[in-house]
């Protein structure tokens, strides 16, 4: 995903400009929702695997109604995602194709271009609008359970490309203090906190064949998916997952801790980081990946901060507000906030890494 890195230029403030902007946003929202349909109903896969299809052919392949198949195909061609062989043919005779350039973004969950998880997470946000409105009035929250599997699986798939593709092979080797521990003998133990569906643990175990990784997450459904992913990767002997609060973990057992895009979601990040610090050996180290936000609030903001504020309003803040007490950090957690919570958790060493970095995330190194 390409994003602006500097403050966005001022927008023309006229009624026409605002209406035009929101009209374009509406088109984008419909694109995301029809991408969700194509992803979840297997329509893109049917086109990729079976080739060009008329509405009746797609309906048979995917097991859907032919009239809905026709309307979806026409919308996808009209918006430029699919290609159509003859726009002048009768509606039932037109044949539609998924271009090769669009296959990876829509179908390959490990491609760096993967975008369907974003559509899935946006739809999950839309599903909870009634509960969110009530939370706005009451000051309460919206629990992760209300978002359903769409949000949980989309979260895992959103980070999956870089975790599977480069975390163990490029990012960790570029951080000497971590790489040396993971290559040391006796083999290192790693704690993956808020592990989600487990891709970070799997990437570490693949890249460092002697280490053992324990993943911790409070969500049972995420842990079940993580265990399945580890089994399919052939790593169940070195990667384990527990639906357990890290406050209950044994002290002094781990050489390395990792938290991938989760600190900002935590109602009590200081308590979690403090527990992780206690879990480390005296020379242990923690790597945190979190949102690559601007250093200070700006308005108008760049595209990344706008995206993060959207997720904050609809997901991260409401989820954190379900617990009390709560830090209620929200998605737009800036570097100075990360420094503060790390310090309050007892970490004496804090480094915001300039390299390595990702388009949407930055890394922090914490030491006891």
pLDDT tens profile 110-167: 999 999 999 999 999 999 999 999 999 999 999 999 999 999 999 999 999 999 999 9
CB burial class (10 A; 0-12, 13-18, 19+) of residue 233? middle
CATH 3.40.50.150 fits 15-107, yes or no: no
Pairing state between β 189-193 and 212-216: parallel
Question: Considering only CA atoms, which of 77, 30, 34 is closest in space to residue 54?
Answer: 77
Question: Considering only CA atoms, which of 211, 195, 193 is closest in space to residue 160?
Answer: 195
Per-residue pLDDT of the chain (368 residues; tens, 9 = 90+): 434 444 555 567 899 999 999 999 999 999 999 999 999 999 999 999 999 999 999 999 999 999 999 999 999 999 999 999 999 999 999 999 999 999 999 999 999 999 999 999 999 999 999 999 999 999 999 999 999 999 999 999 999 999 999 999 999 999 999 999 999 999 999 999 999 999 999 999 999 999 999 999 999 999 999 999 999 999 999 999 999 999 999 999 999 999 999 999 999 999 999 999 999 999 999 999 999 999 999 999 999 999 999 999 999 999 999 999 999 999 999 999 999 999 999 999 999 999 998 999 999 999 99
Protein fold of 124-367: Rossmann fold (3.40.50)
Question: Where are the domains positioned within the chain?
Answer: 15-107, 124-367
């Amino acid at each position: 995903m390409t994003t602006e890195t500097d403050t966005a230029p001022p927008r023309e403030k006229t009624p026409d400009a605002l209406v035009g902007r929101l009209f374009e946003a509406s088109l984008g929202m419909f694109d995301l929702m029809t991408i969700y349909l194509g992803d979840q109903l297997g329509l893109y896969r049917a086109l990729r695997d079976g080739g060009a299809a008329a509405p009746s052919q797609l309906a048979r392949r995917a097991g859907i109604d032919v009239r809905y198949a026709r309307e979806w195909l026409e919308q996808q061609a009209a918006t430029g995602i699919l290609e159509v062989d003859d726009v002048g043919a009768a509606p039932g005779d037109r044949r539609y194709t998924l271009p090769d350039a669009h296959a990876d973004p829509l179908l390959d969950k490990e491609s760096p271009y993967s975008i369907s998880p974003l559509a899935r997470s946006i739809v999950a946000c839309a599903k909870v609008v009634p509960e969110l409105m009530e939370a706005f009035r009451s000051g309460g929250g919206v629990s992760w359970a209300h978002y359903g599997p769409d949000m949980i699986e989309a979260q895992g798939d959103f980070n999956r490309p870089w975790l599977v593709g480069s975390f163990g092979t490029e990012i960790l080797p570029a951080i000497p203090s971590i790489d040396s521990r993971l290559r040391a003998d006796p083999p290192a133990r790693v704690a993956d906190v808020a592990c989600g569906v487990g891709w970070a643990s799997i990437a570490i175990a693949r890249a460092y064949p002697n280490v053992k990784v324990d993943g911790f997450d409070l969500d049972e459904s995420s842990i079940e998916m993580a265990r399945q992913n580890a089994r399919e990767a052939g790593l169940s002997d070195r990667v384990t997952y527990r639906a357990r609060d890290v406050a209950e973990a044994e002290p002094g057992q781990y050489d390395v801790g990792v938290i991938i895009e989760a600190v900002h979601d935590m109602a009590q990040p200081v308590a979690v980081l403090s527990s992780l610090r206690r879990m480390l050996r005296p020379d242990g180290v923690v790597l945190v990946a979190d949102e690559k936000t601007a250093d200070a609030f700006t308005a108008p903001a760049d595209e990344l901060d706008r995206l993060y504020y959207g997720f904050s309003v609809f997901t991260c803040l409401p989820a954190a507000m379900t617990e009390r007490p709560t830090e209620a950090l929200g998605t737009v957690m800036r570097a100075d906030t990360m420094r503060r919570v790390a310090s309050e958790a007892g970490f004496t060493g804090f480094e915001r890494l300039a390299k390595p970095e990702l388009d949407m995330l930055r890394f922090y190194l914490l030491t006891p």
